Structure 1
Amino acid sequence: MNLKIIISILWLGSMFTFAQNQNELSSQIEKLNKIYAQSMIDNDTKTMMSLYTDDVVSLPSYQPMIRGIETLKSLSEQVENSEWKTTSFDMKTTDLIPAGNFVIEIGNYKMKMAGPGVPDWSDEGKYITVWQKQDDGGLKIKIEMWNTDLNPWLQMQQSEGEQK
Protein backbone atom coordinates (compact mmCIF):
# COMPACT_ATOMS: atom_id res chain seq x y z
CA MET A 1 0.00 0.00 0.00
CA ASN A 2 1.13 3.51 -0.76
CA LEU A 3 2.36 5.50 2.29
CA LYS A 4 0.09 8.45 1.37
CA ILE A 5 -2.96 6.17 1.40
CA ILE A 6 -1.99 4.71 4.80
CA ILE A 7 -1.48 8.19 6.26
CA SER A 8 -4.82 9.34 4.81
CA ILE A 9 -6.64 6.33 6.29
CA LEU A 10 -5.05 6.92 9.71
CA TRP A 11 -5.91 10.64 9.57
CA LEU A 12 -9.54 9.94 8.60
CA GLY A 13 -9.80 7.34 11.35
CA SER A 14 -8.49 9.79 13.95
CA MET A 15 -10.93 12.47 12.75
CA PHE A 16 -13.84 10.01 13.07
CA THR A 17 -12.70 9.04 16.59
CA PHE A 18 -12.37 12.73 17.53
CA ALA A 19 -15.91 13.48 16.28
CA GLN A 20 -17.25 10.42 18.09
CA ASN A 21 -15.52 11.48 21.33
CA GLN A 22 -16.86 15.03 20.95
CA ASN A 23 -20.41 13.67 20.58
CA GLU A 24 -19.98 11.43 23.63
CA LEU A 25 -18.57 14.33 25.69
CA SER A 26 -21.35 16.63 24.55
CA SER A 27 -23.99 14.08 25.53
CA GLN A 28 -22.36 13.41 28.91
CA ILE A 29 -22.07 17.12 29.75
CA GLU A 30 -25.63 17.83 28.61
CA LYS A 31 -26.85 15.12 31.00
CA LEU A 32 -24.76 16.53 33.88
CA ASN A 33 -25.99 20.06 33.17
CA LYS A 34 -29.60 18.84 33.39
CA ILE A 35 -28.85 17.28 36.79
CA TYR A 36 -27.17 20.52 37.89
CA ALA A 37 -30.10 22.67 36.72
CA GLN A 38 -32.68 20.44 38.41
CA SER A 39 -30.71 20.42 41.66
CA MET A 40 -30.76 24.23 41.62
CA ILE A 41 -34.51 24.29 41.10
CA ASP A 42 -35.01 21.65 43.80
CA ASN A 43 -32.58 23.38 46.21
CA ASP A 44 -30.79 20.03 46.39
CA THR A 45 -27.29 20.86 47.65
CA LYS A 46 -26.35 17.18 48.10
CA THR A 47 -26.94 16.33 44.44
CA MET A 48 -25.27 19.53 43.29
CA MET A 49 -22.14 18.88 45.39
CA SER A 50 -21.84 15.38 43.89
CA LEU A 51 -20.99 17.08 40.58
CA TYR A 52 -17.84 18.79 41.96
CA THR A 53 -14.29 17.67 42.74
CA ASP A 54 -13.17 18.03 46.36
CA ASP A 55 -10.72 20.78 45.36
CA VAL A 56 -13.17 22.76 43.22
CA VAL A 57 -12.51 26.43 42.50
CA SER A 58 -15.61 28.55 41.92
CA LEU A 59 -15.45 32.11 40.59
CA PRO A 60 -18.95 33.58 40.92
CA SER A 61 -20.07 37.05 39.88
CA TYR A 62 -19.85 39.72 42.59
CA GLN A 63 -18.31 37.37 45.17
CA PRO A 64 -14.83 36.30 46.21
CA MET A 65 -13.25 33.12 44.90
CA ILE A 66 -14.48 29.93 46.57
CA ARG A 67 -12.00 27.08 47.12
CA GLY A 68 -12.90 23.54 48.12
CA ILE A 69 -16.07 21.49 48.26
CA GLU A 70 -16.74 22.17 51.96
CA THR A 71 -16.75 25.96 51.48
CA LEU A 72 -18.92 25.68 48.38
CA LYS A 73 -21.29 23.32 50.20
CA SER A 74 -21.63 25.71 53.13
CA LEU A 75 -22.48 28.64 50.85
CA SER A 76 -24.90 26.52 48.81
CA GLU A 77 -26.67 25.41 51.99
CA GLN A 78 -27.11 29.07 52.96
CA VAL A 79 -28.88 29.67 49.65
CA GLU A 80 -30.88 26.46 50.08
CA ASN A 81 -32.08 27.63 53.49
CA SER A 82 -32.84 31.19 52.38
CA GLU A 83 -36.12 32.50 51.05
CA TRP A 84 -34.64 32.75 47.54
CA LYS A 85 -35.62 29.99 45.13
CA THR A 86 -34.52 29.25 41.59
CA THR A 87 -37.67 28.73 39.51
CA SER A 88 -35.99 27.94 36.19
CA PHE A 89 -32.43 27.39 35.03
CA ASP A 90 -31.28 26.57 31.50
CA MET A 91 -27.76 26.06 30.23
CA LYS A 92 -26.70 25.99 26.58
CA THR A 93 -23.23 24.72 25.72
CA THR A 94 -21.67 26.66 22.84
CA ASP A 95 -18.15 25.17 22.85
CA LEU A 96 -16.44 22.03 24.15
CA ILE A 97 -12.66 21.85 24.18
CA PRO A 98 -11.07 18.54 25.23
CA ALA A 99 -7.68 19.08 26.89
CA GLY A 100 -6.13 15.88 28.21
CA ASN A 101 -7.90 14.90 31.44
CA PHE A 102 -10.09 18.00 31.25
CA VAL A 103 -12.94 19.25 29.12
CA ILE A 104 -13.53 22.99 28.90
CA GLU A 105 -17.18 23.91 28.42
CA ILE A 106 -18.27 27.40 27.40
CA GLY A 107 -21.91 28.35 27.31
CA ASN A 108 -24.81 30.64 28.12
CA TYR A 109 -27.38 30.44 30.88
CA LYS A 110 -30.83 31.85 31.60
CA MET A 111 -32.48 31.67 34.99
CA LYS A 112 -35.37 32.96 37.03
CA MET A 113 -35.52 33.33 40.78
CA ALA A 114 -38.08 34.44 43.33
CA GLY A 115 -37.44 35.86 46.77
CA PRO A 116 -38.75 38.22 49.44
CA GLY A 117 -40.55 41.06 47.68
CA VAL A 118 -39.27 39.91 44.27
CA PRO A 119 -41.74 37.48 42.72
CA ASP A 120 -39.89 37.06 39.41
CA TRP A 121 -36.26 38.03 38.83
CA SER A 122 -34.51 37.02 35.59
CA ASP A 123 -30.84 36.76 34.75
CA GLU A 124 -28.84 35.61 31.79
CA GLY A 125 -25.15 35.38 31.14
CA LYS A 126 -22.24 33.21 30.19
CA TYR A 127 -20.16 30.58 31.93
CA ILE A 128 -17.05 28.47 31.62
CA THR A 129 -16.74 25.11 33.33
CA VAL A 130 -13.62 22.95 33.46
CA TRP A 131 -14.69 19.34 33.86
CA GLN A 132 -12.12 16.84 35.14
CA LYS A 133 -12.24 13.24 33.95
CA GLN A 134 -12.58 10.80 36.85
CA ASP A 135 -11.14 7.29 37.17
CA ASP A 136 -14.61 5.81 36.57
CA GLY A 137 -14.95 7.68 33.24
CA GLY A 138 -17.29 10.30 34.67
CA LEU A 139 -16.73 14.03 34.79
CA LYS A 140 -16.78 16.42 37.74
CA ILE A 141 -16.54 20.19 37.90
CA LYS A 142 -12.99 21.28 38.77
CA ILE A 143 -13.33 25.01 37.99
CA GLU A 144 -16.38 27.13 37.23
CA MET A 145 -16.91 30.78 36.48
CA TRP A 146 -19.99 32.68 35.43
CA ASN A 147 -21.19 36.23 35.11
CA THR A 148 -24.29 38.04 34.09
CA ASP A 149 -24.90 39.82 30.82
CA LEU A 150 -27.21 42.23 32.65
CA ASN A 151 -25.76 45.33 34.20
CA PRO A 152 -27.24 45.61 37.73
CA TRP A 153 -26.20 49.25 38.06
CA LEU A 154 -28.05 50.13 34.86
CA GLN A 155 -31.10 48.23 36.12
CA MET A 156 -30.98 50.17 39.42
CA GLN A 157 -30.73 53.47 37.54
CA GLN A 158 -33.71 52.52 35.36
CA SER A 159 -35.73 51.53 38.45
CA GLU A 160 -34.91 54.86 40.12
CA GLY A 161 -35.96 56.71 36.97
CA GLU A 162 -39.27 54.86 36.85
CA GLN A 163 -39.98 55.69 40.49
CA LYS A 164 -39.56 59.46 39.94
Structure 2
Amino acid sequence: MIKFSFTFFFLAFGLFAQENKIDPEIRKQIEAHNTAFETAFTKGNQSALIKAYTDQSVFMPEHSRQRTGKKSISAFYEQWLSQAKITSYQRAILELQDFGNYVLEIGNFTENLILKGQDPYSYSGKYAVLWQKKKQLLTIVAEIWGSASYFDDKNIPQIDDSDVSQTQEYISSDKLTLEVKERNNTIKRLVQNRQGAEHAKMFMPDAMYLTYYTPILSGEKDITAYFTEHEKPGTLKIEQISIKTSGIINAGKAIVEFGFYNVDWRDGDSNGNVKGKSINIWKRDSKGKLMLFRQMVNHD
Protein backbone atom coordinates (compact mmCIF):
# COMPACT_ATOMS: atom_id res chain seq x y z
CA MET A 1 0.00 0.00 0.00
CA ILE A 2 1.35 3.45 -0.95
CA LYS A 3 1.73 5.80 2.01
CA PHE A 4 -0.65 8.73 1.61
CA SER A 5 1.06 12.11 1.85
CA PHE A 6 -1.29 14.03 4.16
CA THR A 7 0.95 17.10 4.27
CA PHE A 8 0.89 17.40 0.51
CA PHE A 9 -2.82 16.71 0.43
CA PHE A 10 -3.78 19.56 2.74
CA LEU A 11 -1.49 21.99 0.89
CA ALA A 12 -2.93 20.90 -2.44
CA PHE A 13 -6.49 21.04 -1.16
CA GLY A 14 -5.94 24.63 -0.05
CA LEU A 15 -4.82 25.54 -3.56
CA PHE A 16 -7.82 23.76 -5.11
CA ALA A 17 -10.16 25.70 -2.82
CA GLN A 18 -8.60 29.02 -3.83
CA GLU A 19 -8.66 28.28 -7.56
CA ASN A 20 -12.07 26.64 -7.75
CA LYS A 21 -14.82 28.67 -6.12
CA ILE A 22 -18.21 26.97 -6.00
CA ASP A 23 -21.55 28.76 -5.87
CA PRO A 24 -22.74 28.32 -2.25
CA GLU A 25 -26.20 27.36 -3.54
CA ILE A 26 -24.72 24.52 -5.59
CA ARG A 27 -22.85 23.20 -2.57
CA LYS A 28 -25.99 23.52 -0.48
CA GLN A 29 -28.00 21.47 -3.01
CA ILE A 30 -25.39 18.73 -3.16
CA GLU A 31 -25.10 18.57 0.62
CA ALA A 32 -28.91 18.38 0.87
CA HIS A 33 -28.97 15.54 -1.66
CA ASN A 34 -26.31 13.63 0.29
CA THR A 35 -28.23 14.03 3.54
CA ALA A 36 -31.47 12.88 1.90
CA PHE A 37 -29.66 9.94 0.28
CA GLU A 38 -28.16 8.89 3.62
CA THR A 39 -31.62 8.88 5.21
CA ALA A 40 -33.23 7.02 2.29
CA PHE A 41 -30.49 4.38 2.28
CA THR A 42 -30.79 3.57 5.97
CA LYS A 43 -34.60 3.51 5.77
CA GLY A 44 -34.67 1.48 2.56
CA ASN A 45 -36.63 4.14 0.68
CA GLN A 46 -35.83 3.09 -2.88
CA SER A 47 -37.80 5.81 -4.68
CA ALA A 48 -35.98 8.53 -2.69
CA LEU A 49 -32.62 6.91 -3.47
CA ILE A 50 -32.98 7.35 -7.22
CA LYS A 51 -34.56 10.82 -7.22
CA ALA A 52 -31.54 12.64 -8.70
CA TYR A 53 -30.84 10.10 -11.48
CA THR A 54 -32.23 10.41 -15.02
CA ASP A 55 -32.85 7.95 -17.84
CA GLN A 56 -29.38 8.84 -19.15
CA SER A 57 -27.41 8.61 -15.89
CA VAL A 58 -24.29 6.43 -16.03
CA PHE A 59 -23.89 4.32 -12.89
CA MET A 60 -20.60 2.56 -12.09
CA PRO A 61 -20.87 0.47 -8.90
CA GLU A 62 -17.83 -1.39 -7.59
CA HIS A 63 -17.71 -5.13 -8.38
CA SER A 64 -20.69 -4.80 -10.68
CA ARG A 65 -21.35 -3.85 -14.29
CA GLN A 66 -21.94 -0.33 -15.55
CA ARG A 67 -25.63 0.54 -15.74
CA THR A 68 -27.44 3.31 -17.57
CA GLY A 69 -30.77 4.88 -16.69
CA LYS A 70 -33.07 5.22 -13.73
CA LYS A 71 -34.77 1.83 -14.18
CA SER A 72 -31.50 -0.14 -14.18
CA ILE A 73 -30.10 1.87 -11.25
CA SER A 74 -33.30 1.25 -9.27
CA ALA A 75 -32.93 -2.50 -9.93
CA PHE A 76 -29.39 -2.35 -8.48
CA TYR A 77 -30.56 -0.73 -5.25
CA GLU A 78 -33.49 -3.13 -5.01
CA GLN A 79 -31.04 -6.05 -4.98
CA TRP A 80 -28.70 -4.28 -2.54
CA LEU A 81 -31.45 -3.49 -0.05
CA SER A 82 -33.00 -6.95 -0.30
CA GLN A 83 -29.73 -8.47 0.95
CA ALA A 84 -28.43 -5.89 3.42
CA LYS A 85 -29.59 -3.82 6.35
CA ILE A 86 -27.87 -0.43 6.13
CA THR A 87 -27.28 0.69 9.71
CA SER A 88 -25.57 3.94 8.72
CA TYR A 89 -24.28 5.70 5.63
CA GLN A 90 -22.33 8.93 5.36
CA ARG A 91 -20.61 10.95 2.65
CA ALA A 92 -17.98 13.61 3.26
CA ILE A 93 -17.35 15.99 0.36
CA LEU A 94 -13.65 16.46 -0.29
CA GLU A 95 -13.91 18.86 -3.20
CA LEU A 96 -16.28 20.32 -5.78
CA GLN A 97 -14.98 21.28 -9.22
CA ASP A 98 -17.11 23.66 -11.31
CA PHE A 99 -16.87 23.04 -15.06
CA GLY A 100 -19.58 25.49 -16.11
CA ASN A 101 -22.72 23.44 -16.78
CA TYR A 102 -21.29 20.53 -14.79
CA VAL A 103 -19.95 20.05 -11.27
CA LEU A 104 -17.67 17.22 -10.17
CA GLU A 105 -18.05 16.05 -6.58
CA ILE A 106 -15.32 13.94 -4.99
CA GLY A 107 -15.47 12.57 -1.47
CA ASN A 108 -15.26 9.69 0.94
CA PHE A 109 -18.04 7.41 2.15
CA THR A 110 -18.65 4.96 4.97
CA GLU A 111 -21.45 2.40 4.80
CA ASN A 112 -22.11 0.16 7.77
CA LEU A 113 -24.20 -2.81 6.75
CA ILE A 114 -25.27 -6.26 7.88
CA LEU A 115 -25.84 -9.08 5.43
CA LYS A 116 -28.20 -11.83 6.46
CA GLY A 117 -26.36 -14.39 8.57
CA GLN A 118 -23.13 -12.36 8.74
CA ASP A 119 -21.37 -10.04 11.15
CA PRO A 120 -21.64 -6.25 10.67
CA TYR A 121 -19.26 -4.86 8.05
CA SER A 122 -17.94 -1.35 7.46
CA TYR A 123 -17.60 -0.70 3.72
CA SER A 124 -15.69 2.54 3.20
CA GLY A 125 -13.93 4.28 0.36
CA LYS A 126 -14.17 7.15 -2.07
CA TYR A 127 -16.61 8.28 -4.73
CA ALA A 128 -17.09 10.71 -7.62
CA VAL A 129 -20.35 12.18 -8.92
CA LEU A 130 -20.74 14.31 -12.04
CA TRP A 131 -23.69 16.70 -11.69
CA GLN A 132 -25.39 18.68 -14.43
CA LYS A 133 -26.90 22.09 -13.77
CA LYS A 134 -30.42 22.38 -15.19
CA LYS A 135 -31.85 25.77 -14.18
CA GLN A 136 -32.43 25.39 -10.43
CA LEU A 137 -32.14 21.60 -10.50
CA LEU A 138 -29.07 19.35 -10.25
CA THR A 139 -29.20 15.88 -11.80
CA ILE A 140 -26.64 13.07 -11.72
CA VAL A 141 -24.89 12.49 -15.04
CA ALA A 142 -22.56 9.80 -13.72
CA GLU A 143 -21.48 8.19 -10.45
CA ILE A 144 -18.70 5.81 -9.43
CA TRP A 145 -17.34 4.53 -6.12
CA GLY A 146 -14.77 2.10 -4.72
CA SER A 147 -13.29 0.80 -1.50
CA ALA A 148 -10.16 2.34 0.03
CA SER A 149 -8.74 -1.14 0.73
CA TYR A 150 -9.03 -4.68 -0.59
CA PHE A 151 -12.11 -6.56 0.62
CA ASP A 152 -13.84 -9.91 0.18
CA ASP A 153 -16.93 -9.86 -2.05
CA LYS A 154 -18.82 -11.87 0.56
CA ASN A 155 -19.03 -8.72 2.71
CA ILE A 156 -21.29 -6.81 0.32
CA PRO A 157 -24.48 -7.82 -1.56
CA GLN A 158 -24.06 -10.05 -4.60
CA ILE A 159 -25.61 -8.25 -7.56
CA ASP A 160 -27.07 -10.19 -10.51
CA ASP A 161 -25.95 -8.34 -13.65
CA SER A 162 -27.30 -10.88 -16.15
CA ASP A 163 -29.92 -8.44 -17.43
CA VAL A 164 -27.44 -5.56 -17.79
CA SER A 165 -26.26 -4.89 -21.34
CA GLN A 166 -22.56 -4.90 -22.12
CA THR A 167 -21.04 -1.42 -22.28
CA GLN A 168 -20.67 -0.28 -25.88
CA GLU A 169 -17.77 1.68 -27.31
CA TYR A 170 -18.47 5.27 -28.36
CA ILE A 171 -17.67 5.59 -32.06
CA SER A 172 -17.01 9.02 -33.55
CA SER A 173 -14.52 10.53 -35.96
CA ASP A 174 -14.55 14.02 -34.45
CA LYS A 175 -11.17 15.48 -33.53
CA LEU A 176 -11.69 15.47 -29.76
CA THR A 177 -12.81 11.83 -29.60
CA LEU A 178 -9.84 10.71 -31.68
CA GLU A 179 -7.51 12.73 -29.44
CA VAL A 180 -8.89 11.12 -26.26
CA LYS A 181 -8.63 7.65 -27.78
CA GLU A 182 -5.04 8.31 -28.82
CA ARG A 183 -4.18 9.26 -25.23
CA ASN A 184 -5.78 5.99 -24.10
CA ASN A 185 -3.68 4.10 -26.64
CA THR A 186 -0.60 5.62 -25.04
CA ILE A 187 -1.77 4.47 -21.59
CA LYS A 188 -2.44 0.99 -22.99
CA ARG A 189 1.12 0.77 -24.34
CA LEU A 190 2.67 2.00 -21.08
CA VAL A 191 0.66 -0.46 -18.95
CA GLN A 192 1.54 -3.38 -21.20
CA ASN A 193 5.22 -2.43 -21.21
CA ARG A 194 5.23 -1.93 -17.39
CA GLN A 195 6.35 1.71 -17.64
CA GLY A 196 4.68 2.98 -14.51
CA ALA A 197 6.75 6.14 -14.08
CA GLU A 198 5.89 7.17 -17.64
CA HIS A 199 2.21 6.38 -17.04
CA ALA A 200 2.26 8.79 -14.08
CA LYS A 201 3.36 11.57 -16.43
CA MET A 202 -0.06 11.36 -18.10
CA PHE A 203 -1.45 13.18 -15.02
CA MET A 204 -1.33 16.89 -14.24
CA PRO A 205 0.83 17.90 -11.25
CA ASP A 206 -2.29 18.71 -9.20
CA ALA A 207 -4.21 15.60 -10.29
CA MET A 208 -6.18 13.19 -8.13
CA TYR A 209 -6.26 9.46 -8.84
CA LEU A 210 -8.95 7.32 -7.24
CA THR A 211 -8.18 3.70 -8.01
CA TYR A 212 -9.30 0.35 -6.66
CA TYR A 213 -8.49 -0.71 -3.07
CA THR A 214 -6.47 2.43 -2.32
CA PRO A 215 -7.13 5.76 -0.57
CA ILE A 216 -7.29 8.86 -2.77
CA LEU A 217 -3.91 9.68 -4.29
CA SER A 218 -3.36 13.42 -4.56
CA GLY A 219 -0.62 15.18 -6.49
CA GLU A 220 2.40 14.23 -8.54
CA LYS A 221 4.40 12.64 -5.71
CA ASP A 222 1.75 10.15 -4.60
CA ILE A 223 0.59 9.30 -8.12
CA THR A 224 4.14 8.71 -9.37
CA ALA A 225 4.96 6.50 -6.36
CA TYR A 226 1.81 4.43 -6.97
CA PHE A 227 2.37 3.79 -10.68
CA THR A 228 6.08 3.19 -10.30
CA GLU A 229 5.31 0.35 -7.88
CA HIS A 230 2.06 -0.91 -9.42
CA GLU A 231 3.40 -1.14 -12.98
CA LYS A 232 7.02 -2.03 -12.38
CA PRO A 233 8.83 -4.58 -14.57
CA GLY A 234 8.82 -8.11 -13.19
CA THR A 235 7.22 -11.50 -13.59
CA LEU A 236 3.71 -10.15 -14.16
CA LYS A 237 2.84 -9.91 -17.85
CA ILE A 238 -0.08 -8.17 -19.50
CA GLU A 239 -1.13 -10.57 -22.23
CA GLN A 240 -3.98 -8.44 -23.54
CA ILE A 241 -5.39 -5.05 -22.67
CA SER A 242 -8.15 -2.92 -24.13
CA ILE A 243 -9.05 0.58 -22.98
CA LYS A 244 -12.19 1.94 -24.62
CA THR A 245 -14.43 4.99 -24.42
CA SER A 246 -18.18 4.71 -23.86
CA GLY A 247 -18.93 8.42 -23.87
CA ILE A 248 -17.44 11.93 -23.97
CA ILE A 249 -18.76 15.25 -22.66
CA ASN A 250 -17.05 18.47 -23.69
CA ALA A 251 -17.65 20.48 -20.52
CA GLY A 252 -15.65 23.48 -21.73
CA LYS A 253 -13.32 23.72 -18.75
CA ALA A 254 -12.68 19.98 -18.90
CA ILE A 255 -13.29 16.91 -21.02
CA VAL A 256 -15.26 14.16 -19.26
CA GLU A 257 -14.74 10.63 -20.57
CA PHE A 258 -16.52 7.46 -19.51
CA GLY A 259 -14.20 4.49 -20.05
CA PHE A 260 -14.04 0.72 -19.68
CA TYR A 261 -11.19 -1.76 -19.78
CA ASN A 262 -10.43 -5.46 -20.12
CA VAL A 263 -7.08 -6.97 -19.06
CA ASP A 264 -5.67 -10.50 -19.29
CA TRP A 265 -2.67 -10.96 -17.01
CA ARG A 266 -0.24 -13.77 -16.16
CA ASP A 267 2.29 -14.13 -13.34
CA GLY A 268 4.09 -17.46 -13.43
CA ASP A 269 1.47 -20.19 -13.07
CA SER A 270 -1.23 -17.69 -12.11
CA ASN A 271 -3.40 -15.83 -14.57
CA GLY A 272 -6.68 -13.98 -14.72
CA ASN A 273 -8.92 -11.42 -16.35
CA VAL A 274 -9.93 -8.05 -14.92
CA LYS A 275 -12.70 -5.83 -16.26
CA GLY A 276 -13.60 -2.39 -15.03
CA LYS A 277 -14.70 1.14 -15.75
CA SER A 278 -13.71 4.73 -15.10
CA ILE A 279 -14.63 8.38 -15.15
CA ASN A 280 -11.75 10.39 -16.58
CA ILE A 281 -11.49 14.17 -16.38
CA TRP A 282 -9.06 15.55 -18.94
CA LYS A 283 -7.64 19.08 -19.08
CA ARG A 284 -5.10 20.67 -21.39
CA ASP A 285 -1.65 21.63 -20.19
CA SER A 286 0.19 24.80 -21.23
CA LYS A 287 1.12 23.13 -24.53
CA GLY A 288 -2.44 22.11 -25.32
CA LYS A 289 -1.94 18.40 -24.60
CA LEU A 290 -4.72 16.46 -22.88
CA MET A 291 -3.69 15.42 -19.36
CA LEU A 292 -5.60 13.55 -16.65
CA PHE A 293 -6.84 15.98 -13.99
CA ARG A 294 -9.13 13.60 -12.08
CA GLN A 295 -9.59 9.87 -12.64
CA MET A 296 -11.58 7.24 -10.78
CA VAL A 297 -11.37 3.55 -11.63
CA ASN A 298 -13.04 0.43 -10.23
CA HIS A 299 -13.37 -3.26 -11.10
CA ASP A 300 -16.60 -4.84 -12.32
**How high is the TM-score relative to the length of structure 1?**
0.76
Which stretches in structure 2 are left out of the alignment for 5+ residues?
Answer: 1-19, 156-300
Quick check: 1:142 aligned with 2:127?
A: no
- C-alpha deviations, 1:32-73, integer Å up to 9, x for none? 100111111111110111111221101111111111111111
Q: Which residue of 1 aligns with 2:70?
A: 69
Counterpart amino acid of residue 143 in structure 2: E
Corresponding letter in the other structure for 1:152: F
Q: How does 1:1-164 map to 2 (within 5 A)?
A: 19=21, 21-80=22-81, 82-135=82-135, 137-152=136-151
Residues 126 and 147 in structure 2, CA contact (< 8 A), matched pair in contact too: yes
Aligned twin of 1:15:
none
Contact 1:36/1:51 (<8 A) preserved:
no
Assess if the C-alpha contact under 8 Å between 1:90 and 1:111 holds in 2: yes
* Letter of the 1:125 counterpart: G
RMSD between superposed Cα atoms in Å: 1.9
Instruction: Please tell me the residue identity of whatever aligns with 1:109.
Output: F
| Shift of residue 102, structure 1, vs aligned partner | 1.1
Q: Which has the larger radius of gyration?
A: 1
Residue identity (%):
27
Query: What TM-score comes out, normalization by structure 2 length?
Result: 0.43
1: distance between equivalents of 2:41 and 2:35? 10
Partner residue in 2 for 1:9: none
Query: Within 1, Cα distance between the matches of 2:41 and 2:77?
Result: 10
Partners of 1:116 and 1:49 in 2: CA distance? 24
Q: Give the match for residue 161 of structure 2.
A: none
* 2: CA distance, partners of 1:61 / 1:36: 18
Displacement of 1:86 after TM fit?
A: 1.0
Indicate conservation of the 8 Å contact 1:53/1:141, yes or no. Answer: yes
Question: How far did residue 150 of structure 1 move?
Answer: 2.2
Q: Which amino acid aligns with 1:51?
A: A
Report the count of equivalent residues: 135
Q: Which residue type is aligned with residue 91 of structure 1?
A: R
Structure with the bigger percentage of helix: 1
